[in-house]
Homo-oligomer: A and B are copies of this chain.
Amino acid sequence: MGESKLIRFLASNIPIVKNEIYQHLETFTVKKVKKGEILLRQGDICSHTYFVEKGLLRYYSIDKKGKENVLQFAPENWFITDRESVFFNQPSNYYINALEDSEILVLEKDFSEKIALKNKDFERFNLQLLHNHIRHLQKRIELLLNATAEERYLYFINLYPDIILRVPQHMIASYLGVTPESLSRVRKELAIKNKK
């Protein structure tokens, strides 16, 4: 599969990327998906992890009221999957779709276990991803517990300045847990403040 971003990403996170890893990665193919395409649906058992080479994916749920809740955006160099569904082999409650035309690596559900078997560094790297994920979710819970819409938005643009530019505003609102109208007003307020 040539020089993928995944290889470079791993190389920058694992001391020495050995042949064992290359061997596995070379079996993966790049999949091209169109904007809007859905890769995972509620009810499906998620059997892949996606690594975004190019483009932007989104992980979200739809609640009983029909409202979409964005749980994660995944731009270049991000892994995205429904970990619960993959690990526990259960139907997913979530959706994954493409927000832009994208190129993604489709990794088999057991790819990390297979590589981990042969390579301790990769195993460590995998644990690191899991811990990062937890850290990230926990921080978000804290923000939802005690920060205002404005504070949450400021935190978001600080953390993901690039995503703001690529994603429709109503999806950012959904991620932040506010209505699109509210986010629009928050932005207006901030613009006024900055002028002063």
Residues of A within 8 A of B (CB): 61, 63, 65, 67, 69, 71, 83-84, 87-88, 127-128, 130-131, 133-135, 137-138, 140-142, 144-146, 174, 177
- Is B138's CB under 8 angstroms from A71's CB? yes
Contact partners of A130 in chain B: CB under 8 A: 127, 130-131, 134
Contact partners of A141 in chain B: CB under 8 A: 71, 137, 140-141, 144
A137 interface neighbour in B87, B137, B174, Cβ under 8 Å? B137
- Is B146's CB under 8 angstroms from A67's CB? yes
Q: Give complex CA distance A133, B174 in Å.
A: 23
Question: How many copies altogether?
Answer: 2
5 closest pairs, A vs B, by CB? Answer: A137-B137, A144-B144, A87-B131, A145-B177, A84-B135
Q: Give complex CA distance A30, B133 in Å.
A: 31
Minimum CB distance partner of A174 in chain B:
B145
Q: Give complex CA distance A193, B130 in Å.
A: 42
Contact partners of A84 in chain B: CB under 8 A: 131, 134-135, 138
Q: Least Cβ distance of A91 to chain B in Å? A: 13
Contact partners of A67 in chain B: CB under 8 A: 146
Interchain Cβ contacts under 8 Å between A and B, 9 examples:
A71-B138, A71-B142, A83-B131, A83-B134, A87-B131, A88-B131, A134-B134, A137-B138, A137-B141
Which of A67, A83, A88, A146 gathers the greatest number of chain B CB atoms within 10 Å?
Answer: A146
Minimum CB distance partner of A94 in chain B:
B138
Q: Give complex CA distance A134, B134 in Å.
A: 6
Decide: A69 near B142, CB < 8 A? Known: A87-B127, A87-B128. Answer: yes
Minimum CB distance partner of A117 in chain B:
B120
Q: Give complex CA distance A142, B146 in Å.
A: 16
Q: Give complex CA distance A144, B178 in Å.
A: 11
